Homo-oligomer: A and B are copies of this chain.
């Protein structure tokens, strides 16, 4: 489907929107933003004229056994531009039957080759060629990612596409470095372990970072010699189809990487419950993760990797560099429209620096540039869809109703699409929903703490355990917090550092397993112990 011209879709002026929320707030009596300050929130919306995406939508069918095909049912579903909520393409809607076909192709490609029988070096070369092709097509891919997801184009083009390429270079390098062990025996035996591909991997990825999640899943699975059925999020089916096409151009044999677009309860559940799928990896919400694991339990006990929700603490100690902490706490929460599983969504600030921090955090949020994500300098685009948009607004209302202080933001921006004002709550307490649930939107909750033991206890008092930010100049404080926080990542004086070699994943209900780094290989390998007797061994 061709790109279409979109203009002047957001007609309502920003100040009108701000006034509306200001009146809502003053009627509730918890508003610390007087009229003036709310108006300052409207720094740079510029939503009047939307930029036309410089890309064609070429691939909308499922990619099964190396060929683009319609859904077995013939059905399609619409995919949208979150700037407007308008349909930009109709995509083949895969369901159980399409998953069956994709699994059959992946099964055949695994059981009969040539993929697992190639040398690891050959597999590595295909991954490298793919990375080169992605580099060549970076512009179209970044534009398509922004168009379908709403994330700032600068972020997609300058940060995510290079990271995608970097991740495939990284995994290409692993393909020929998967070593088993030789193992000391207790008697006259020669013992070794083989690290074998696990077989057909089912992978279900979310909509918040479609291409990066593609890389986290597909990279290690292919490096380890598996074949794949990938189910994309129904909100963002487009870029995975594009890059999967590039993978075939790079020489990937048919059936090794199959991509099915569709919904969770139909396509996703069929994949997770499939008897011929040897492994499933899922990134998404904790509630859906539980269903995925249950489907694996009820079917064939396939091992499951889960990367789920979070309510990550961002802890600003009294000795922290406040300006830096403000900027990174802002980034930790608002990055990608707040749509990060590891968003620093509980900003704990020491009482001695709380007032200064709050003032600066609010000022920073008011300066945040929200608008057409294709526009240069825009920091925040729309939320992904109406469902998420409504959910975030519900949480904002919940924050107000539970007597948190709304410092700025608090409402939608404009009248079309899914833009939300950067929102900051202060005086947030641990029992409020906005301090407990994953909001997945541009809503910062600032909490006050007195001492280290208290903030450790409060930071850990959550079912989640994905990540944490720690801001301090004191090495002892950093070490104490680093060990005490029950999270899969601790960023000390930094946040969202996502280098290829750093493992990522959750404690507690934030997930099972680790992605990226050497640890990610474990998800896609089986260990086979091989034992033979030794006759007259020279040593044991």
Residues of A within 8 A of B (CB): 166, 181, 183-187, 189, 191, 193-194, 196, 278, 286, 289-291, 293-294, 296-298, 300-301, 303, 306, 308, 463, 478, 482-483, 487-494, 497, 499-505, 507-509, 511-514, 517-519, 522, 526-533
A492-B532, A497-B531 given; 9 more Cβ-contact pairs under 8 Å: A185-B502, A187-B499, A189-B499, A300-B509, A301-B512, A502-B529, A502-B531, A503-B527, A517-B529
> Which residues of the other chain, B, contact A512 by a CB distance below 8 angstroms?
301, 303
- Distance in Å: Cβ of A202 to nearest Cβ of chain B: 15
In the complex, which residues of chain B have a beta carbon less than 8 angstroms from the beta carbon of A478? 532
With the chains together, A434 CA to B212 CA distance in Å?
Answer: 49
Q: List 30 A-B contacts (CB under 8 A).
A: A183-B501, A183-B502, A185-B502, A186-B501, A189-B497, A189-B499, A191-B502, A193-B503, A196-B483, A278-B508, A290-B301, A294-B297, A300-B508, A301-B308, A301-B509, A478-B532, A482-B528, A487-B528, A488-B529, A489-B530, A490-B528, A492-B530, A493-B533, A494-B532, A497-B531, A504-B529, A505-B527, A507-B526, A514-B527, A517-B529
Cα A391 to Cα B448 in complex, Å, equals 63
Of the residues B286, B489, B511, B532, contact of A531 by C-beta under 8 Å? B489
Q: Which of A185, A293, A500 has the most CB of B within 10 A?
A: A293
Which chain B residues border A297 with CB–CB below 8 Å? 290-291, 293-294, 296-297
Counting every copy of the chain, the complex holds: 2
A439 to chain B, nearest CB (A): 21
Query: What is the CA–CA distance of A426 and B524 in the complex, to the nearest angstrom?
Result: 39
| Contact partner, A518, options B181, B488, B507, Cβ 8 Å | B181
| A306 proximity list for chain B (CB < 8 A) | 301
In the complex, residue of chain B having the shortest beta-carbon distance to the beta carbon of A526:
B507
| A186/B499 contact (C-beta < 8 A), A290-B301, A294-B294, A531-B494 known | yes
Cα A513 to Cα B185 with chains together (Å): 21
Of all chain B residues, which has the CB nearest A469?
Answer: B531
Nearest residue in B to A494 (C-beta to C-beta)? B533
* Closest Cβ–Cβ distance, residue A341 to chain B (whole Å): 14
For the complex, what is the distance from the CA of A487 to the CA of B194, rounded to whole Å? 11
What is the CB-to-nearest-CB distance from A316 to chain B, in angstroms, rounded to a whole number? 16
* A324 (CB) vs chain B CBs: closest residue: B533
Expressed in whole angstroms, the minimum distance between the Cβ of A301 and any Cβ of chain B is 5
CA distance A278 to B507 in the complex (A): 9
Nearest residue, chain B, Cβ from A463? B300
Contact residues in B for A497 (Cβ distance below 8 Å): 185, 187, 189, 191, 531
Specify which chain B residues have a CB less than 8 angstroms from the CB of A519 in the assembled complex: 193, 527
Q: How far is the CA of A414 from the CA of B228 in the complex (A)?
A: 55
A528 CB contacts on chain B under 8 angstroms? 482, 487-490, 507
Residue of B nearest to A290 (CB): B297
**Chain B's nearest CB lies how many Å from the CB of A533?**
5
Partner of A494, one of B181, B189, B301, B526: B189
Of B191, B278, B494, B507, which one neighbours A501 at CB under 8 angstroms?
Answer: B191
Given A482-B530, A489-B529, A527-B488, A286 and B298 touching (CB < 8 A)? Answer: no
Question: Which residues from chain B contact A529 at a C-beta distance below 8 Å?
Answer: 488-490, 502-504, 517
Closest to A488 in B: B528
CA distance A488 to B193 in the complex (A): 9
Partner of A499, one of B185, B482, B492: B185
Closest B residue to A181 by beta carbon equals B518
A322 to chain B, nearest CB (A): 16
Chain B residues near A296 (CB-CB < 8 A): 293, 297
